Amino acid sequence: MPQREDDYYEWGVNNPITSWAAPTYILRPEVDLIVSEEVGHDFICQHQCQVTIMPDGEMWLRPYRWNLHRCESVSR
């Protein structure tokens, strides 16, 4: 598994999902700045996921560096 956030993309490219048998439910923000519409749509269609769109939602998963910066700015 990757040790740094920069390694996650490379790991994902080198280890694509080939089979996804578990029922999957996705809560997707209305505006997703991390996962493109095309990539999200392809994954959802390929793996028959159920999707709920969160109106006015925003992706809450952030890179480690973003979280660190945010915590530092709040603690000042």
Tell me what pLDDT residue 49 has: 93
27 DSSP β-pair partners: 52
Burial class from Cβ neighbours inside 10 Å (0-12, 13-18, 19+) for residue 4 reads exposed
Percent with pLDDT over 70 in the chain: 68
Do 4 and 63 form a contact (C-beta atoms < 8 A)? Answer: no
Distance CA 44, CA 25 (A): 9
Tell me what pLDDT residue 12 has: 81
For the chain, the structural domain boundaries read 21-57
pLDDT one-digit tens code per residue, 6-43: 677 788 889 988 888 899 999 998 888 878 889 889 98
pTM here is 0.56
Q: Between these two residues, 3 and 58, which has the higher pLDDT value? A: 58
Do 53 and 30 form a contact (C-beta atoms < 8 A)? Answer: yes
